[in-house]
Amino acid sequence: MARVQAKSQPRTRTLLVVDDREANLVAMEALLGDGDWQVHTVNSGEAALQALLDLDVELVLLDVQMPGMDGFEVARLMRGSPHTRYTPIIFVSAIAHTRESVLRGYATGAVDFILKPFDPQVLKHKINTLLSHEHNRRDLQLLTQQLDSARAFNASVLNNAAEGILVVGEDGYINFANPAIAQMLHTSINDLQGTALVDHLAAPQMPEAWRDTEFYNQWRSGNTYRLHEAQLYTADGGTLPVALSSSPLPRQQRSMVVIALDMSVVRNLHVQLETQAVTDSLTGLLNRRGFHQALDSALARVDRNGKRMAILYIDLDGFKRINDSLG
């Protein structure tokens, strides 16, 4: 089965600074240039949106009042895009000091609203905190994607396995059945789930109490249990010869996985081989080996019941020519 392993890949953290004043961009670049991140500056809302498409931006420092597309519109468009929906935004403004502007900034998706003049150390601390949160969010998103991929892979393996697979709880009831076992028993997955495993077992005979069965005892001991010759009931009233093996799942799941291998093909093959060993392929009659087996069986039967037995010998004329030409 697929395993999920989260790997934290080292990456360059990129800050995007958006301001229409060149002096402000130079000042912010000088202020933040010595941090553990890369600073990228643009002078318009349109350029900011393009940079967000081209770069892997982890935080945006966004001016509020800009000609053309202002900061509120940039934030609104960012929150409407799946790529930047969760990218942290800090509004930075020297003009929009009103309560309405601050509330509007938070309403458009900002995580903070800083008014100029501000303390550079406080800003750096906030940037570090938000970048750490963003880093954790991305790691969690990656882990979720890996988990979804692993689940899809495991489901594909179970659904396409040729062997029948059951997950049986410690109470003996089936919690999961794959399509193969349902097809083998001529039933549906829903009809199997929630039923007792022993109710489907035609042979060998099991104790009535689930906790007295070898399935349960071996599971409690953490061992694998195998039944090389077993039979399961089919929905049409017949039985299916199978080989069963049960292995405990991790203890916290308190379940076992039971694998059923359809032995009907093997059984039929054995019958065909046994038949071919004692019959003539041309006539379908008993060959020399088959004759001796039948004679030994008849003599043993005579010894048991004390009755007499007669052997009739019939010679077929001209059979040599048939045998020589047809084998």
**How does pLDDT run across 271-299, given as a tens digit for each residue?**
666 777 777 776 777 777 877 787 888 88
For residue 208, the model assigns a pLDDT of 87
Q: Give CA–CA dist 105/72, Å, rounded.
A: 7
Segments making up each domain of the chain, as ranges: 14-151, 162-266, 279-326
**How does pLDDT run across 182-232, given as a tens digit for each residue?**
999 999 999 999 999 999 999 999 998 999 999 999 999 999 999 989 999
For residue 57, the model assigns a pLDDT of 94
CA dist 241 to 164, 194, 231, 233, Å? 13, 23, 4, 9
pTM of the prediction?
Answer: 0.54
For residue 303, the model assigns a pLDDT of 82
Q: Give CA–CA dist 164/134, Å, rounded.
A: 44
**Contact status, residue 98 vs residue 53, Cβ threshold 8 Å:** no
**pLDDT bracket for residue 11 (50, 70, 90):** low
Q: What is the mean pLDDT of residues 14-35?
A: 91
CATH architecture assignment, domain 162-266? 2-Layer Sandwich (3.30)
Query: Among the listed ranges 20-24, 171-175, 225-229, 305-309, which one has the minimum average pLDDT value?
Result: 305-309
| CB under 8 A, 24+ apart: contacts of 280-289 | 282/323, 282/326, 282/327
**How does pLDDT run across 149-161, given as a tens digit for each residue?**
988 888 888 888 8
**How does pLDDT run across 238-259, given as a tens digit for each residue?**
999 999 999 999 989 999 999 9
Average pLDDT, the chain: 87
**pLDDT of 3 higher than 60:** no
Q: Which residues touch 184 (CB under 8 Å, ≥6 apart)?
A: 164, 232, 234, 240, 242, 260, 262
Dihedral sign from CA coordinates of 291, 295, 297, 298: positive
Task: Classify domain 14-151 at the CATH topology level.
Answer: Rossmann fold (3.40.50)
For residue 76, the model assigns a pLDDT of 94
For residue 60, the model assigns a pLDDT of 96
Across 187-221, b (16+ Cβ under 10 Å) vs e yields beeeebeeeebbebbeeeebeeebeebebbebbee
**pLDDT bracket for residue 74 (50, 70, 90):** very high
Task: Write out the H or E segment, with its range, that includes residue 159.
Answer: helix 120-160
For residue 185, the model assigns a pLDDT of 95
Kindly state the tokens that stand for 36.
């553990």
**Contact status, residue 51 vs residue 45, Cβ threshold 8 Å:** no
For residue 269, the model assigns a pLDDT of 65
- Please give the residue that has the higher pLDDT: either 266 or 68: 68
